[in-house]
Chain A
Amino acid sequence: MNDSERRDFQAGLESEVDAFLKGESTRRTFITRFGQMTGMLAVSGPVLGMMTDWAVAQQKLELADPASPLGQAQALALKASTEGPADGSAFRATKAAKQFPGVTINMTSEAGLQALDPRNFSGPMWEQLTGTKMNVVELSNPDQYSKAVAEHIAGSRAYDVLDISPAWTPSLADGGVIAPLDEFITKYMNMKDFEDFHPLYKALPTYKGKIWGFFDDGDIFALYYRKDIFEDPKMMEAYQAKFNGKLEAPKTWAEYNQIAQFITDQMAPKTYGAGHFRKAGSPGNQFDFLQQFRANGGKLFGDDMKAGLVSDAGVATLTSMVASNAASIPGNNELDAVSLWAAFLTGKVAMIYSWPPTGRMAGNYSQSATAINFIPQSQIAGKVGYAVVPGNPEHAVGYNKALAADSANLEASYLFMQWVTSPEVSLARVMLPYALRDPYRISHYKSDLYGGLFPGAKEYLINLNNSANVGLLDPIMPGAQDYFLSLDRMCTAVWAGADPKASLETAATEWNETTDRLGVESQKAFYTEFLKLPGATAENTVEKLGLAVKL
């Protein structure tokens, strides 16, 4: 060791020894502590996991006051599950599910309000009835599909029951993500209960001759208007004088625009004639365009699968929608669905068309749930009339309960699906004040209990049924979200001043690109399947097929 090395050695030794004597960390103590920390982290993972499981675990079954209509409906659901009738779908499902005690069913649900029913009502009730464990997996809307597909690709068997939009049925069925229910239906379901679905919804989960889910959310648009304004003698008189006609719920879009403009002229700024959810990304644009376009005789696709948007019907639809906007509340084009509800409930708007919760909110029923208290209290309760949207109303999205093909518990999961959509249980679910699931069975529309939920509920139900009789379905085929997005862009561009014809052409180009990307022949086959469904076009609505339900 030369002098230099010796100096270096001594300096190193000195610092190390000093550190040792001062009790400073050595490598060994560092490793020990690092090991301890790693161990603590390893332990904390499961502990945190358990705490999270506890936090998001199923709630206790929440039941309403037994004397209330909802309480009675819930009691009937329990009775149908435990006492029968013995051939009822709810009873059969409950009885059969007792073969699978302790099985866990992982069910996806849109995060937020949609998940409250399975968390607070149907999930805990099913657990109580059968011993099956329910695990509600809350997902954002896009993730309901992306995760389902990703988990299927990974083969993780993460989900058993999927909440999906009907538009996704063909993609998920062909992709092997969801399983057909036909065998289970034959084995377990009372077909009388199957016939209880409104005809618009009964065939909706059918694809290539098989049933790929149970319909579970009657999202039909309906017109809600201020009866007090329409029946005001002064307003009626003024309208008669100006248009030589009766002021009543509009039956055509021209009447709709005329009445909206009339009310705005007479009552603004206190109340405006109409309001729409037209904000970009808010689905109001695409649904409104689709319902008016088809009611105006428009065809979505030609025989060669080229987009049929650029047509007289397309231009007429956009022109009419622009006229509606002009007759509406200022800021109409900036409203989303919730803002529009707020405007209607606070009396700023005389007419809106939207999803069914509008009626329950207008009757101040929904707001009785704390989960919905972000919606203002209705200042128009008892003043609301219900009518069918002019032409044909859109059935905007909806939900199917579908069976995940990879489920490790196919039969147990199916039984839950049958039970939760059975007439008695589904009635109790669509009556929940926080429900975003809307009536879809004939028995729902006829229910006296539902009719007693709020003043005017019976008329509300009749109108939902009548709307479904002439309702139109969203396109159910792969690429639906691409087609919808193009419509939304097209509409909002027109609201901002773009030329309607040019915008239709841009949207048509995008539609054609989407069709080409997915394969023209393949898309043609999907579209042909879609056209077989009642409500696919204005020419084959439930009513025109002679299947209308009269209440």
Chain B
Amino acid sequence: MTTQTITRMQAAGPPRRLSRFGQWADRHFKWLLVAPAVLLILALSIYPLLFSLVVSFINYDFQVPGHAFVGLKNFERVVFDPVARWSLFLTAWLSAISVAIEFVLGLLVALTMVKSFPGRGVIMSILIVPLFISPVIVGQAWTLLLQRPFGPTNYLLTQLLGQEVTIGWMTERPWLYISLIVADVWQWTPFMFVILLAGLTAIPPNLYEAAELDGVSAWQAFWAITLPHLAPMMLLALTFRLLDAIRMFDTIFIMTGGGPGTQTYTASYYLYTVGFTQFHLSQATAGSWLFLIFTAFVVTLLVRRLLKTEPV
């Protein structure tokens, strides 16, 4: 303690005596601070979660009166519903393909943008714009581009290829999947790019300088320096993006409406349809729990891998 501090303390006089409440508040201050947040979490997360667990074991259907206990019936309905199984498969398939493409494109763009060049700031700003657009708007925009007879895509392809193109981008296989993937990739590649760019800029430049002095080629430098240093960020980006991708709903809702048939039902779209088109809320809730368990399994694997990753 400095002399100056002591002088100031003397000038300020003795500290005021705390009241009984003040003393109690002082002792439990940390708990008082976290209490509002805890109460909010309990009210807004834990209670609904527990309630949804209850709902998944009872009848909660707007067309069937009463809330009788039905055991595992709601889960059984989901498990034995071929549409549910298909939607889960499609979710995994679409997410994997979309995220893989977004990762590769994001990495390429990040590698391109890591070095400074004129106009880099403007290009980066333009590149990340899709991130700020609502997925519903993205779906609508791509619908306007692809939907026949008004969308210009087939016309442009016809002009480019010199022969008439009549693709049903949102009604014919495999084009409808390609359309959905393209829309997703367009919106979310910038996410990968931003995360990977942050990882790239964090790699110490002296490593590359040393490698250059040793006569290491660019490709070798990528394999030996960039990739190992970027690996944790890659896994982070993949984890975050995959978690988001498996919830794919908005673009499907707008672009294909789940069709034709049930060909573009993802898990989220399936649950929405069961819950809010058919009003079988307990079945939708049971399905949500099953989906949560599936998601938790994937997340646990990824997070474990993420935690194990050590910087080189």
Contacts and interface: CB of A to CB of B under 8 A. Distances in A.
Determine which residue in A18, A175, A490, A492 has the highest number of CB atoms from chain B within 10 A of its CB, and name it: A492
Interface in B243-282: 256-263, 273, 276-279
A329 B149 CA distance: 7
A281 B62 contact: no
Contacts of B262: 489, 493
Interface string A110-149: 0000000000000000000000000000000010011001
A493 B82 CA distance: 15
Most buried by B among A14, A149, A279, A493: A279
Size range of the chain A interface in the assembly: 35 or more
Contacts of A492: 171, 259-261
Contacts of B29: 27
Contacts of B62: 145-146, 149, 171, 175
Interface in B203-248: none
Interface in A476-527: 478-479, 481-482, 485, 488-490, 492-493, 495-496, 498, 503, 517-518
A503 B259 CA distance: 14
A502 B166 CA distance: 27
A481 B276 CA distance: 10
A496 B263 contact: yes
Contacts of A343: 149
Contact of B257 (A21, A280, A482): A280
Contacts of B172: 496
Contacts of B279: 142, 145-146, 481
A322 to B, nearest CB: 13
Interface stretch (A181-189, A330-338, A380-388, A467-475): A330-338
SS class, residues of chain B in contact with chain A:
loop
Given A142-B276, A485-B277, A489-B262, A14 B1 contact: yes
Interface residues of B, number: 36
Given A13-B1, A17-B9, A171-B63, A339 B260 contact: no
Contact of A18 (B5, B258, B259, B277): B5
A429 interface: no
B147 interface: yes
A157 B30 CA distance: 42
A342 B276 CA distance: 29
A432 B236 CA distance: 56
A31 interface: yes
Nearest to B257: A281
A282 interface: yes
Given A17-B5, A31-B25, A149-B62, A334 B171 contact: yes
Interface string B1-36: 100010011001000000000000110010000000
Contacts of B276: 142, 146
B12 A20 contact: yes
A481 B258 CA distance: 16
A550 to B, nearest CB: 39
Contacts of B171: 279, 333-334, 492, 495-496
A493 B260 contact: yes
Interface of A: 10, 13-14, 17-18, 20-21, 27, 31, 142, 145-146, 149, 171, 174-175, 279-282, 329-331, 333-334, 339, 342-343, 348, 478-479, 481-482, 485, 488-490, 492-493, 495-496, 498, 503, 517-518
Interface of B: 1, 5, 8-9, 12, 25-26, 29, 62-65, 147-150, 166, 168-173, 256-263, 273, 276-279
25 contacts: A14-B1, A21-B9, A21-B12, A27-B26, A31-B25, A142-B277, A149-B62, A175-B65, A279-B259, A280-B256, A331-B147, A334-B147, A334-B171, A479-B63, A485-B278, A489-B259, A489-B261, A489-B262, A492-B259, A493-B262, A495-B171, A496-B259, A496-B260, A496-B261, A518-B64
Given A280-B258, A479-B63, 8 more contacts: A14-B1, A17-B1, A17-B9, A145-B62, A280-B259, A330-B148, A334-B170, A343-B149
Which 9 residue pairs of A and B lie closest in terms of their CB atoms, listed nearest first? A280-B259, A331-B148, A281-B257, A493-B261, A496-B260, A492-B260, A280-B257, A492-B259, A331-B149
